[in-house]
Amino acid sequence: MIVWLIGLSGAGKTTVGTRLAARLREESANLVYLDGDLLREVWGGALSHDVAGREVNAERISRLCRMLDRQGVHVVAAVLSIFPRWRAWNRENLSDYFEVFLDVPMDVVVERDTRGLYRAALDGEQSDVVGVDIPFPRPEDPDLVLDSSGRDGTPDELVERIVAALTARVTT
């Protein structure tokens, strides 16, 4: 099973993803948490944040997921994921792929500005920011959409919503 969390910077991928991984590990320890940012460091930190660098990162993460998937390892992946092509690849190549879109209004993530990126981008001091100068194509066919502005609940409540959706899917 691959649970793929998509959302803008500040949408809560890491917050929800780490808690979801801990929650799912209560049932099976056979699970790896992959975070797009941490993987950049794993690859050696040389990738840029422009569209080309992001695509290399996206491809590597998807292919790593396939390797783990083939060995029966579950994955929770938290990835900004702006490439419809790699999302489609995931659905085709990963078994039991479950895509969760943390949909949050742009003004909420700008207000959170967890990395200081949006303010800098809006002030013209930072480029390559998704949602500002790099477009964010909304996922076309996610398995679950949750509003992570607080409207659909706290991060822990969102985790429970995802677990419930995963359980419902297994039993149908």
Ligand X SMILES: Nc1ncnc2c1ncn2[C@@H]1O[C@H](COP(=O)(O)OP(=O)(O)OP(=O)(O)O)[C@@H](O)[C@H]1O
Interface with Mg ion includes 14 (CB under 5 A)? Answer: yes
Copy the structure tokens of residue 28.
């099976």
Cβ nearer to ligand X, comparing 96 with 107: 107
Q: Name the amino acid, one letter, at 138.
A: R
Distance CA 108, CA 61 (A): 27
CB of 50 to Mg ion, least distance (A): 19
| 2 three-class SS | strand
Interface with Mg ion includes 148 (CB under 5 A)? Answer: no
User: Under rule CB under 6 A, which residues in 45-104 are in contact with ligand X?
Assistant: 78, 80
Compute the residue count for the chain.
Answer: 172
Judged by CB under 6 A, the residue of 2, 3, 4, 7 near ligand X is: 7
Cβ nearer to Mg ion, comparing 14 with 148: 14
Judged by CB under 6 A, the residue of 114, 122, 127, 133 near ligand X is: 114
Interface with ligand X includes 142 (CB under 6 A)? Answer: no
* Alpha helices, H only, the chain: 13-25, 36-42, 51-70, 84-93, 106-112, 117-122, 155-171
In Å, what is the CA distance from 22 to each residue of 33, 84, 86, 145?
A: 9, 28, 26, 21
> CB of 6 within 8 A of CB of 98?
no
Copy the structure tokens of residue 104.
């949050």
Residue nearest to ligand X (CB): 12
* Positions marked catalytic: 81
| Positions in the binding site for ligand X (CB under 6 A) | 7, 9-16, 37, 78, 80, 112, 114-115, 148, 150, 154-155, 158
| Positions in the binding site for Mg ion (CB under 5 A) | 13-14
